[in-house]
Amino acid sequence: MQFFLDTANLESIKKYASWGVVDGVTTNPSLIAKEGVSLESRIKEITEVVDGPISSEVIATDYDGMISQAREYVKWHKNIYIKLPMTEDGLRACKTLSSEGIHTNVTLVFSPGQALLAAKAGATLVSPFIGRLDDISHEGMELIAEIVEMYTNYGIETKVLVASIRHPRHVIDAARIGADIATMPPEVLDKLINHPLTDKGLEKFLADWEKVKDLQ
Ligand code: E4P
């Protein structure tokens, strides 16, 4: 399973990239706005830190606007993936860009039907938002299972990028289902690495070592 970071915070991206486990980065307009930076400059900075897919989302909501923004974004770096909303115009733009060999990530996906449509339009990645489904008392992970099953049935190449991840259990369950990618906020990576028994165990090893370290 690939791990992407779901943030536009450059310091975080540098920190977690140094762990050697970050395969890509997803951003969205809210994450960019939170940093108070320009989209172009931040995306370019991210491409210098992570050598993998970097999703940059279109702001336009009409087909022509999406295509023109996408054509601009792909000039920034070879690793740019164009993030498009799951709308009629987004789907049409996905078909056009995918046909030209431009990598796409169809976002704001909340149903299996939307995921099938994204695949038919040639999306490189599809982003089902599981946390936001959980928030409204739906079972987000069921959507992942349905998409993985459908894509497997037909050998569909679109990769399932599990988005809106809230906690480590989401990552583990998505991995057990066989989703291709999990994009997660930095806090989730912290929670994945930390375990109180690891800390306690290390403390004990070091304390015991202190007792014998000077013996010849
Ligand atoms: C995915 O690419 C989105 O940026 C993200 O996962 C949205 O998550 P949220 O529901 O935590 O905003």
pLDDT in tens, 38-61: 999 999 999 999 999 999 999 999
The pLDDT of 137-161, averaged and rounded, is 98
Rounded Cα gap, residues 106 and 85, in angstroms: 6
Rg (the chain; Cα; Å): 20
129 Cβ closer than 6 Å to some ligand 1 atom = yes
**How far apart, in whole angstroms, are the C-alpha atoms of residue 154 and residue 69?**
32
- Which band of pLDDT confidence, cut at 50, 70 and 90, is reported for residue 93? very high
Give the residue-averaged pLDDT of 64-77: 98
pLDDT tens-digit readout, 19-35: 999 999 999 999 999 99
Q: Has 83 been annotated as catalytic?
A: yes
Atom of ligand 1 nearest to the CA of 132: 10
Candidates 14, 83, 191, 204; catalytic one:
83
DSSP per-residue codes, 42-83: HHHHHHHH--S-EEEE----SHHHHHHHHHHHHHH-TTEEEE
Q: What is the pLDDT of residue 89?
A: 98
Biggest alpha carbon–alpha carbon distance for the chain: 76
Q: For ligand 1, atom 11, which residue shows the shortest CA distance?
A: 164
Nearest to 119 by CA among 104, 130, 102: 104
For residue 174, the model assigns a pLDDT of 98
9: three-class secondary structure by DSSP: coil
Q: Where are the domains of the chain?
A: 2-215
- The per-residue pLDDT for 207 is 97
pLDDT at 216 over 80: no
User: Taking the chain, what is the end-to-end CA distance rounded to the nearest angstrom?
Assistant: 47
Mean pLDDT of 200-213: 97
What are the phi and psi torsion angles at 59 (to 5°)? -100, -30
CA 183 to ligand 1 center in whole angstroms? 8
Q: Tell me how far the alpha carbon of residue 127 lies from the centroid of ligand 1, in angstroms.
A: 9
DSSP state of 103: -
| Gap from CA of 133 to ligand 1 centroid (Å) | 11
pLDDT in the model for residue 145: 98
User: Given the CA of residue 31, which atom of ligand 1 is nearest to it?
Assistant: 4
Backbone φ/ψ region at 35: left (φ over 0), alpha (ψ -120 to 50), beta? alpha
Best mutation site among 12, 23, 28, 138 for ligand 1, i.e. most ligand atoms within 8 A of its Cβ?
Answer: 28
Tokens read off for 171? 């990552």
Q: What token pair was written down for 165?
A: 């991840």
Ligand 1, residue 83: give the atom nearest the CA.
2
| Torsional sign, CA 200, 18, 51, 5 | positive
Per DSSP, the three-state class of 134 is helix
From ligand 1's centre to the CA of 101, what distance in Å?
25
Q: Is the pLDDT of residue 69 over 90?
A: yes
Q: Which fold has domain 2-215?
A: TIM Barrel (3.20.20)
Our mutation pick for probing the ligand 1 site, out of 30, 104, 110, 129, counting the most ligand atoms within 8 A of Cβ, is 129
Write the CA distances from 155 to 119, 158, 170, 176, integer angstroms.
Answer: 11, 9, 24, 19
Task: State phi, psi for 192 to the nearest 5 degrees.
Answer: -70, -35
Crossing angle of helices 39-49 and 10-17, rounded to 10°: 10
Is the shortest distance between the CB of 26 and ligand 1 below 6 Å?
Answer: yes
For ligand 1, is residue 7 a contact (CB within 6 Å)?
no
What's the whole-number mean pLDDT along residues 6-17? 98
Mean pLDDT of the chain: 98
pLDDT (average), residues 153-166: 98
Quote the ligand 1 centre to 67 CA distance (angstroms): 23
With contact defined as beta carbons under 8 Å apart, do 125 and 151 qualify? no
Instruction: Give me the pLDDT at residue 41, please.
Output: 98
